[in-house]
Amino acid sequence: MSARFIAPVLMGIFMLVLWEGLVRAMAIPPYILPGPILVAKTLVSDWGTLWPALVVTLTITLQALLAAVLVGGALALLFSLSRWIELSLFPYAIILQVTPIVAIAPLIIAWVDDVDVSLLICAWLVAFFPILSNTVLGLRSVDRNLLDLFELYGASRWRTLLELRLPAALPYFLGGLRISGGLALIGAVVAEFVAGSGGRASGLAYRILESGYQLKIPRMFAALVLISAAGIAIYLLLSLISHLLLRRWHESALGEER
């Protein structure tokens, strides 16, 4: 706890002080680079606009993550049940993954009437792959000897899935989930950027664009801080969930000594 916690906090404080000091010493105007104190003040004074924007972006993020869990998990199960389905679908999942979201987002936004739904689709597209590929890997890396044991014990396919494959894949799934959480936020923000003024003009990314046009640079920074904070919060939350689910038995969550 101690060094792991204190070291980054000290580093952060040092960087903030350095930033504030430089801004003051060099008399950098706030529309070029606002100091951290000004950003913090803006965060408080503009909370009325920023908070609803954060809620909008987080809602899309969490919905996309949920959809990614459902679709990614279901596809992974399907793939583990049928080699044919996997062989025919997995390449397309990869194509979706490697195509930059900024390139597809305008199409999706143009094709789907409801802006919220199109943002959701974009964020989901970015987020679902780590869950899919990790879960497929987990379902497949079950110890062969354990599968043999289950066969000798006369376990049905369904029992084997429930009692062996799913628990064994859980750590992999949770690893994918942690990556997807951050990606869902990035996807949501990127999609909002692309949608721009054509969107519902409400998410954090839109607030950043808007502040840019209006040269309200401190507010832009405040919105950035909120996005980062949201990303960190999502990561910590998913790590906590993962820890709670695995702490009893998985190596990753066990203490170092036996």
Partner 1 sequence: MVSSPALSVRSAHIVLDGHVVAENLSLEFPGGRTTCLLGRSGVGKTSLLRHLAGLLPGTAPAGPVAYMAQRDLLLPWLSVLDNVRLGHRLRGDAAARHAAGPRARALLAEVGLGHHLDALPQTLSGGMRQRAALARTLCEDRQIVLMDEPFGHLDAVTRFDLQDLAARLLRGRTVVMVTHDPLEALRLGHEIRILSGTPFVPGPVIAPSGAVPRDPADPELLALQARLIGELRTGG
The answer to whether 104 touches 122, Cβ cutoff 8 Å, is yes
Question: What separation, in Å, do the N-terminal and C-terminal C-alpha atoms of the chain show?
Answer: 19
Buried b (16+ CB within 10 A) or exposed e, 211-226: beeeebbbbbbbbebb
| Least spacing, CB of residue 35 vs partner 1, in Å | 51
**Amino acid, res. 45:** S
Count of residues in the chain:
258
- Rounded-to-integer distance, Cα 119 and Cα 203, Å: 11
Q: Does 47 bind partner 1 (CB under 8 A)?
A: no
Residues 6+ apart with CB under 8 A from 198: 109, 115
By CB under 8 A, residue 78 contacts partner 1: no
Contact between 14 and partner 1 per CB under 8 A: no
Among residues 4 and 258, whose Cβ is nearest to partner 1?
258
Give dist(CA 12, CA 79) in Å, integer: 44
Least distance to partner 1, CB of residue 169, Å = 12
244 binds partner 1 per the rule CB under 8 A: no
Nearer to partner 1, 215 or 254 (CB): 254
- Residue 33 or 168: the one with the smaller Cβ distance to partner 1 is 168
Note whether 124 binds partner 1 by CB under 8 A.
no
By CB under 8 A, residue 163 contacts partner 1? yes
- Residue 151 touches partner 1, criterion: CB under 8 A: yes
Which of the stretches 6-14, 18-26, 116-124, 244-252 binds partner 1 when contact is defined by CB under 8 A? 244-252
Q: How far apart are CA 146 and CA 114, in angstroms?
A: 48
Pick the binder of partner 1 from 69, 105, 123, 164 (CB under 8 A): 164
Interacting residues with partner 1 (CB under 8 A):
143, 145-146, 148-156, 159, 163-164, 167, 248-251, 254, 258
